[in-house]
């Protein structure tokens, strides 16, 4: 089954910085929730590891990765 989310233009409109550095946690949560592909997720993890390394954000990204993998099955 083909996954069209990989080519969804909305999934990569925001940069990792825009997703992970807004002024409040609600916007960070929304930024993570709208990640629809592993490429965007990997970019966000790399950005977070390089700039902030916040354990809570990395944990949310891990949960999102698990969700994306489940959706692929």
Using the predicted structure, report yes or no on whether residue 10 has a pLDDT greater than 70.
no
CA distance 12 to 59: 21
Contact residues for 20 (Cβ-Cβ < 8 A; gap 6+): 28, 31, 32, 44, 47, 48, 51, 52, 57
**40-68 mean pLDDT:** 97
Residue identified by tokens 């825009």 is 18
Confidence (pLDDT) at 12: 61
CA distance 24 to 39: 24
Please indicate, yes or no, whether the overall pTM of this predicted structure exceeds 0.75: yes
């Amino acid at each position: 089954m083909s996954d069209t989310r990989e080519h969804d233009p909305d999934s990569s409109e925001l940069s990792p910085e825009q997703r992970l550095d807004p002024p409040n946690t609600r916007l960070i949560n929304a930024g993570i929730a709208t990640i629809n592909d592993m490429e965007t997720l990997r970019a966000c993890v790399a950005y977070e590891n390089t700039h902030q390394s916040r354990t809570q954000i990395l944990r949310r990204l891990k949960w999102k990765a698990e969700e994306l993998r489940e959706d692929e099955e």
